[in-house]
Chains A and B, each alone.
Chain A
Amino acid sequence: MEVHNERIAKERFRARLSAALINIVLSFYGLWLVLYLVTGSFTGVGKDVQGLFGLSHKQTLLSLLPLSLGLGVLWSLRAASPGRMWSERTNTLLKGLVPDLPRPWLRMPSAWVVIAIGVLTLLVSVGITESSLRELFSSSGMAGARKILAALFTPDWSVLPEVLESMMQTIFMAFEATLIAVPIAFLASFPMARNLMAGSRLGMAIYGTLRTVFNFTRSIEPIIWAIIFSVWVGIGPFAGMLALMVHSVASLTKLYSEQVENIDSGPLEAMTATGARPVQVVWYAVVPQIVLPYLSFTIYRWDINVRMATIIGLVGGGGIGTILMQNQGLAKWNVVGTCVIVIALVVWLMDALSARVRAAIS
């Protein structure tokens, strides 16, 4: 029982810290939004940007720091503050111990502050994107759009063989990228599944490291990988394939490992109980449960890769995207129209095909 109470006290302390931190960060964010709305700048970049109360913008921003620190700490005294809602009511150990709020959360003042911050975010984002209905429907703008759309719908069929040739390049690029990515992602997915690695400290270290590396890799969009590889190995389909492959490995491992985390743990327990080694446990208890979903994800990934391969072509990854980009630069809108139609047809076909295959095996 003592061990239990000690754990709860420790957990309470951690929850208090994280609640204060969340409230401070939220307070700072809210004040920063107000500053932007008044001055028109987040960082004070640009001429004529003044701060508030006669201070410079930089000084105002710095003075927000102690202000939000104080506000955040004060806010943490309230049970309905977002920080405490989050750290007390989502924690498995504390959830049952905190008293109920006097009213539903949405009727507490703290909730109104959170909603106000949300509204401010929307206002600021409308300001930043310079959203304007007037420009969307201006007559000169509409005329330009009509010209391009008309050209797109009168494609130049004389370039069809060329376009098909590069479309094939794109499809095979996607195929190769998927095929190389699958075995790598397969092997990496097991050490990235929490349920398999949670047994030991070393396991959790490997899990954490791989997770960080692959999350980082995945957060870099394939189009940026294509830029990197087109410098590395030169512009062309090889760079595009590498870009797709790297991104496929990262996202397939995530999908695969989530599948591993969702398996029925019963067979795992049974195999462990026979005294089998971890690799044998995975092979006998995990793999039979995941083959079909893996296959389904892989086909889906090939489908995605074909779409992405066209985009990647735009930045020098070869294939049909490159042709599209060149002709767009030359304002040959009829050729662009041909490319768009071929891409649309192939994507539609792949989509229908992969949906069928996935439906059949699941």
Chain B
Amino acid sequence: MGNIFEIRDLHKIYDNGTHAVRGVSFDVQEGEFVGVIGLSGSGKSTMLRCLNRLVEPTSGRILMRGQDITHVHGQELRDVRRSIGMIFQHFNLIPRATVLRNVLSGGLGRMGMFASLTGSFTPMERVRAMECLDLVGLADKARQRATALSGGQQQRVAIARSLFQDPQVLLADEPVASLDPATSHSVMQHLERINREMGKTILCNLHFLSLVRQYATRTVALKDGQVVFTGDGKAIDEARFKEIYGEEAVEVTIH
């Protein structure tokens, strides 16, 4: 299996001077489920957003399947983004639009301009979108307003949207941070299935070490914008844990 991402000495300094990512380097292999842990403000989110260039890296290189995507722009950048799905902490669904339309919007990258502006999705696309909704168990909600659903359901709509996008790799930024424990596991299990059964590579930011140990095949820990650990999440003992989260930290688990 080759590497899907090679991240080399990545830096990000925001306009207000915050140095969020300080020389991060690691590889992501095809088919992995990488869990990224670290405190809030450790640079997880910024690092993830550099990969699909929602955030422009200040320096360093990102290779995707050997292609340098650090400086691509225009159509080339849109093609890169099309092959990278993304799931967000706050779901980021389109307000006022139906669940189905939200799922269909995942395909905007490959749609013609006119068809997308008039909302003329082909019957094929609609069938595929319904299949994606069915995979997350929400086919019966297709006609409802997406933002009227519960948090867990909204996140599953977001997952269906990125399935419809049909990416090679899925980025998930704190996908369960605004959900309760039971719903969190349901969402994580959907991600696990996408990884195991559909073979999509997943890079997932998480707060809880217990979730990372349970679902991720490999763990990367960030602290102050730097990588402080890579390897099996189960190898993180109490000393390592305090190194990542600070001396004061006590591990809590989510069941």
Contacts and interface: CB of A to CB of B under 8 A. Distances in A.
Interface of A: 1, 3-4, 7-8, 92-93, 264, 266-267, 269-277, 279-281, 283-285, 288-289, 291
B86 interface: yes
B92 A280 contact: no
Interface in B99-123: 105-111, 113, 116-117
B94 interface: yes
Contacts of B81: 272-275
Contacts of B52: 273
Contacts of B83: 275
A274 B105 contact: yes
Contacts of A92: 16
Contacts of B106: 274
B207 interface: no
A280 B108 contact: yes
Contacts of B96: 288-289, 291
Contacts of A272: 54, 81
A281 B105 CA distance: 10
Given A1-B19, A280-B108, A285 B54 contact: no
Nearest to A93: B17
27 contacts: A1-B19, A3-B58, A4-B17, A4-B19, A7-B17, A8-B17, A264-B95, A266-B91, A267-B94, A269-B88, A270-B88, A272-B54, A274-B82, A274-B107, A274-B108, A274-B109, A275-B79, A275-B80, A275-B83, A276-B78, A276-B109, A276-B116, A277-B78, A277-B113, A280-B116, A285-B94, A288-B94
A116 to B, nearest CB: 36
Given A267-B94, A269-B88, A276 B16 contact: no
Given A267-B95, A270-B86, A288-B95, A276 B108 contact: yes
Secondary structure call for the B interface: mixed
B165 interface: yes
Nearest to B59: A3
A266 B92 contact: yes
B204 interface: no
Secondary structure call for the A interface: helix
Give the residue among A271, A273, A279, A285 with the most B Cβ atoms within 10 A.
A273
The interface size bin for chain B is 35 or more
A325 to B, nearest CB: 47
Interface in B60-99: 78-86, 88, 90-97
A200 to B, nearest CB: 9
Interface in B215-236: none
A5 to B, nearest CB: 9
Contact of B54 (A269, A279, A283, A289): A269
A127 to B, nearest CB: 46
B105 A284 contact: yes
A161 to B, nearest CB: 47
A145 B110 CA distance: 72
Contacts of B16: 92-93
B13 interface: yes
A288 B93 CA distance: 11
A233 B191 CA distance: 66
Interface in B6-39: 13, 16-17, 19
Nearest to B109: A275
B43 to A, nearest CB: 15
Interface string B128-172: 000000000000000000000000000000100100010000000
A265 to B, nearest CB: 9
Given A266-B88, A274-B105, 4 more contacts: A266-B90, A274-B82, A279-B113, A280-B111
B6 to A, nearest CB: 21
A346 to B, nearest CB: 34
Contacts of A288: 94-97
Contacts of B111: 280
A288 to B, nearest CB: 5
Contacts of B78: 275-277
Given A279-B117, A280-B108, A274 B88 contact: no
A71 B109 CA distance: 60
Given A274-B82, A275-B78, A275-B81, A280 B113 contact: yes
B219 to A, nearest CB: 24
A98 to B, nearest CB: 15
A41 B117 CA distance: 62
Contacts of B82: 274-275
